[in-house]
Amino acid sequence: AREEHLRSILDAVPDAMVVIDERGLIISFSAAAEKMFGYREAELLGENVSRLMPSPDRERHDGYLRRYYETGQPKIIGIGRVTTARRRDGTTFPIDLHIGEARLGEDRVFTGFIHDLSERQETERQLHRLQ
Ligand code: HEM
């Protein structure tokens, strides 16, 4: 029942929500995330979150997690970052990324909220053209 409640909340959130474990493996992928990235949740469960980003972050993301465990210094958690994500078809798009950290029993999990900025970027481009 708790699981279903959480699921119904996730499905209602307009931004994509991705939950990963300490190793960076996906444990939850919301309905909005499915639409944004073009993957079904079932395809990504247990896959590395780095699948959702282009190079060079793709190859480096495990190292980012390691750096955080070693230093305890967050660079995105609680701060946010405008960066680039990658869809299933390989195309990339600008995002606003927010990450939260939580404890799930013994385990530490990270929750990422992803807001697609492509529309905003296109509007800015058009405004620029008009000036
Ligand atoms: C760290 C990129 C998605 C969890 C980082 C860093 C980068 C990055 C560049 C290191 C920042 C630095 O050291 O300056 C990306 C990109 C994503 C993405 C391009 C696009 C999809 C996610 C998601 C989650 C996540 C969805 C969690 C669900 C983390 C964590 C850290 C991190 C826990 C280390 C803590 C921190 O530096 O605050 N990521 N990330 N990332 N990322 Fe990601």
Name all contacts of 81-89 with Cβ < 8 Å and 24+ positions apart. Answer: 82/117, 83/53, 83/57, 84/53, 84/54, 84/57, 85/36, 85/37, 85/52, 85/53, 85/54, 85/114, 86/51, 86/52, 86/53, 86/54, 86/58, 87/36, 87/37, 87/38, 88/37, 88/38, 88/39, 89/38
One-character DSSP codes across 8-75: HHHHH-SSEEEEE-TTSBEEEE-HHHHHHHS--HHHHTTSBGGGGS-TTHHHHHHHHHHHHHHH---S
Tell me, what's the pLDDT at 104?
83
- For residue range 68-89, list pLDDT tens digits in order: 999 999 999 999 999 999 999 9
Please compute the mean of the pLDDT values over residues 101-111 and round it to a whole number.
92
Rounded to two decimals, what is the model's pTM? 0.91
**Minimal-distance CA residue to ligand 1 atom 1:** 64
Specify the CATH number of the domain 2-130: 3.30.450.20
Domains in the chain: boundaries: 2-130
Q: Which residues line ligand 1 (CB under 6 A)?
A: 18, 20, 49, 52-53, 57, 61, 64-65, 68, 74-77, 83-85, 97, 99, 110-112
Ligand 1 geometric centre to CA of 28 (Å): 16
Is the pLDDT at 66 greater than 90? The verdict is: yes
**What residues pair up with 18 in beta bridges, in sequence order?**
29, 112
Please compute the mean of the pLDDT values over residues 32-55 and round it to a whole number.
98
